[in-house]
Amino acid sequence: MKSTTRQHVYRSVWLLLLLSFTLVSAQEWEVVGPRGMRAVDIEVHPVYRTNVWLSTGYNLYFSEDNGATWATRSVIPFEFHDKITLHPTNLDTVMVVCDGLPYRSVNRGLTWELVPGYPTGGSSAYALQRHPLTDLPVILQGDYYAMDSWGGAFVTQYDDGASKYLLHPSDPDLVVVSSAPDYYYGPSRLTLSTGEIEPLYDMDNLGEIEHFPELILLNTGDPDWLIGVAHSFWYTIDGYMETRDGGVTWTLGTTHPALNCATELVDENVVWALTEDAFMRTTDGSQTWDVEMDSDDLPFPFRSFSGIKYSFSHVYPETFWYLNGGRLFLTHNSGDSWVEIDTFYDYSNVNDVAASRGDPNRLYLVSDGLWRSDDDGVSWQMVNEISYVEIETGLQPDDVFSGNYRSLDGGVTWDVLDYTNTGIAVGEYGYYVTEVAYDPANTDRVFILASAARFEEPDNPQPYYTTDFGDTWQQPSGMPQYTWEGDYYFDPLRPERVYFRRRDQGGSLYRSDDGGANFALLQDEAYQLEFAPNSDRLIAWSSDGLFSSIDGGETLDLFGELAGEEPLNVEITGAEQVVVLTATSVWFCDPNLDNSLWTRLLLTDLPHEDGFAVSESGTLFLVSEGLRRNAGLLVSAPETDNTRLPDRFELLPVTPNPFNATARVDIALPVPTTVRLEVLNVLGQSMTVLADRRFAAGHHQFVLDGSNWASGAYLLRASVEGYGDQTRRMILLK
């Protein structure tokens, strides 16, 4: 089954095949999607408390009136702005981390320079901050860097690769390290002048704290009083941990799992704690706690290890800035009322966008939450405040998937995959799943790559699949072993055909023709795939170029030159236009897979990676400084009954009939139900089963392959739960 075609043949064809293309002028890209750029960091000036700096990842903003109005202050031509640090007295001097490197401005953000002394090949400088005792910038990321003046350079003070640092509140020579290399499971005290580290805990004195995970540590003004908030994906701590004796003994500080805390340096006995249930405060050093706001009253969701930024002073003692999952909130009355700060942003931070396969106007977008559009991307509404990383869609408009989660109601509620019955030995940290793929036509069929948590025994990733959404699991044969990275693809016209693209170990492509039970090597290149909706054609692409196949990927033919540009992403519209995203352009061919002429749209001044989608109506969507929409370039899919749900069950006539070798089979289902589609000979003997599973409501297509049968008459029978049987007669002529 492996193709004998080799890459040198592809390259020869590339040189011989000259496809023409036309260049269209830049069309208007409309900025759509949710407004409110993701907030990454916010810093209140330590003296001039109404001066606030905000980083959104792609821009810096400055406010002189405590957040009432904002001005853009960044001209740094880099991809990502992160941590902000402000000069203690000079309003014009500010430092910020950009793409992992520290930059400095002495004119309030008008111009910037790279701060010398920090290695460009070292750890990213995400932990930039101002030392509370020296008032000078330090970088606490892997190694410890400090500056001798705001106009000077960084100097390495400790280079043993600790995880997180906490500056000691009274001794500049001491640093509390949350996870030192030799004391991984807890905090230690580092003496900078000597480089000596001593643990700040005794395992015998941890009491009810079973584990000591990596912490976010907070100063309280008392050198012996430290607060540690669990920052771990594996352990559950019932409350934050604190020590009153410099780390000799540790106790639990709250009765709730703490997500983050803030201390009031004006009064060391005041601590705020964010839990999963409430915003809480203690005024007596954590002896007693008051619930300031419970989860029903809070205007923001609990979904991340969020930061509480405070503006404690005698002028504004009740002002809090709160960062949650990229959303920014402000209170001036200790939480009695909150205002979300988002009106001055031009666009939102978009992680992924996906077009529905079942509705030409439905799209989903991942930003700070899950958003949905029902009008081809013109307007958007948030359907879930949980932020997912990336999403896929099913054949039904309401089917959407993200990792271990599946939603069948448009993202409002979610089901979670259960890996218990995979048979994987569960490690101390649980399961390690690197790939989850849902069959768009049957959301109960899921393929994964999984093992016990990485770096544990057994550390052997294996493929698994389920046909009942995790109740039972099986392992396919023929798949490559020790594969951490891969992608699955499902043929929309052949439910039994599944592809697997191996992305590691040099890359390769596999295919299964029996629903995923058995795979065989197809190509020794890690091609990505996209399927034509109405024909047997598939499009494959890699760094070698863009190819097509009509035999399931066994042989590949060059499909488009694209001026030598490497495809980043490919979509095929309902009108069967192939749309290709490259680093500089969007290319698309004529409808019906006509590659004789290509049109090129240059993406001038639109920075992007591979975030890209095409709706069924032919509208382009590009993730570029938010979400951009371009309508009118592509041909709309022809209007058919497939855009509406059927009002009855029907087994449509086989086409063509008579047929030679292959034929197309269509069924219409008014509701989700179980279907068995079987071919019988005139004696009633079963020749093949095209399908035997549950299908969503809608129109479904199948390809019948009778190339190994004798000429004659056959019966196609569809048995549908709740509707009975329907039969069609067909003739095979060879």
Residue carrying the six token digits 């089954």: 1
Does position 184 have pLDDT exceeding 50, yes or no? Answer: no
Question: Which three-class secondary structure state does DSSP give residue 267?
Answer: coil
Residue carrying the six token digits 């350079």: 153
Does position 287 have pLDDT exceeding 90, yes or no? Answer: no
- How far apart CA 46 and CA 388 sit, in angstroms, is 35
Tokens at residue 582, please?
Answer: 């490259």
Whether residue 520 contacts residue 507, with contact meaning beta carbons closer than 8 Å, is answered with no
| Bridge partners for 676 per DSSP | 692, 719
Which of 504, 521, 514 is closest to 465 using CA atoms? 514
Identity (one letter) of the amino acid at 439?
Answer: D
- Residue 688: phi and psi, rounded to 5, are -165, 155
Tens-digit pLDDT profile for residues 213-260 = 444 445 555 666 666 654 443 344 445 667 777 666 766 665 455 555
* 647: Cβ contacts below 8 Å, ≥ 6 apart: 670
- How far apart CA 164 and CA 97 sit, in angstroms, is 17
Q: 177-202: b or e for each residue (b if 16 or more CB lie within 10 Å)?
A: bbbbeebeebbbbbebeeeebebbbe
Tokens at residue 691, please?
Answer: 């399908």
Percent pLDDT > 70 in the chain is 66
Tens-digit pLDDT profile for residues 21-80 = 677 655 577 777 665 555 677 787 877 777 888 887 667 888 887 777 777 776 555 556
Q: Which contiguous run of DSSP H or E holds residue 15?
A: helix 7-16
Which range, of 74-78, 270-274, 570-574, 690-694, averages the lowest pLDDT? 74-78
Residue carrying the six token digits 């309401």: 398
Task: Please report the DSSP string for 361-393 in residue order.
Answer: T-EEEEESEEEEESSTTSS-EEEESS--S--EE
Mean pLDDT, to the nearest integer, of 701-722? Answer: 89
Does position 508 have pLDDT exceeding 90, yes or no? Answer: yes
Q: How many CB atoms lie within 10 A of CB 356?
A: 25
Which range, of 379-383, 541-545, 562-566, 707-711, averages the lowest pLDDT? 379-383
Which range, of 365-369, 378-382, 636-640, 646-650, averages the lowest pLDDT? 636-640
Question: What is residue 705's predicted lDDT score, i.e. its pLDDT?
Answer: 86
Tokens at residue 246, please?
Answer: 């410099």
Question: What is residue 445's predicted lDDT score, i.e. its pLDDT?
Answer: 93
Which of 274, 275, 227 is closest to 253 using CA atoms? 227
Tens-digit pLDDT profile for residues 310-348 = 444 434 556 666 665 556 667 777 666 767 665 344 456
Tokens at residue 465, please?
Answer: 């699949």
CATH architecture entry for 7-30+347-630? 7 Propeller (2.130)
Q: Which contiguous run of DSSP H or E holds residue 537?
A: none
Question: What is residue 652's predicted lDDT score, i.e. its pLDDT?
Answer: 92
Question: Which three-class secondary structure state does DSSP give residue 118?
Answer: coil
Domain 645-732 top-level CATH class = mainly beta
Does position 125 have pLDDT exceeding 90, yes or no? Answer: no
Whether residue 613 contacts residue 631, with contact meaning beta carbons closer than 8 Å, is answered with no
Return the higher-pLDDT residue of 717 and 127: 717
Return the higher-pLDDT residue of 668 and 358: 668
Mean pLDDT, to the nearest integer, of 288-316? Answer: 51
- How far apart CA 524 and CA 5 sit, in angstroms, is 10
Q: Where are the domains of the chain?
A: 7-30+347-630, 645-732
Whether residue 387 contacts residue 368, with contact meaning beta carbons closer than 8 Å, is answered with yes
What's the pLDDT band for 305 if we cut at 50, 70, 90?
A: very low
Mean pLDDT, to the nearest integer, of 642-650? Answer: 73
Tens-digit pLDDT profile for residues 608-627 = 777 888 887 788 888 887 78
Residue carrying the six token digits 């500010």: 94
**pTM beyond 0.85:** no
Tens-digit pLDDT profile for residues 480-506 = 877 778 999 999 878 889 999 998 888
Q: 465-483: b or e for each residue (b if 16 or more CB lie within 10 Å)?
A: bbbebbeebeebeebeeeb
Tokens at residue 433, please?
Answer: 């799943």
Does position 299 have pLDDT exceeding 60, yes or no? Answer: no
Question: What is residue 472's predicted lDDT score, i.e. its pLDDT?
Answer: 94
Mean pLDDT, to the nearest integer, of 627-634? Answer: 82
Does position 659 have pLDDT exceeding 70, yes or no? Answer: yes
Whether residue 501 contacts residue 517, with contact meaning beta carbons closer than 8 Å, is answered with no
Mean pLDDT, to the nearest integer, of 279-283? Answer: 70
Whether residue 461 contacts residue 482, with contact meaning beta carbons closer than 8 Å, is answered with yes
**What is the DSSP pairing of strand 627-630 with strand 30-32?**
antiparallel
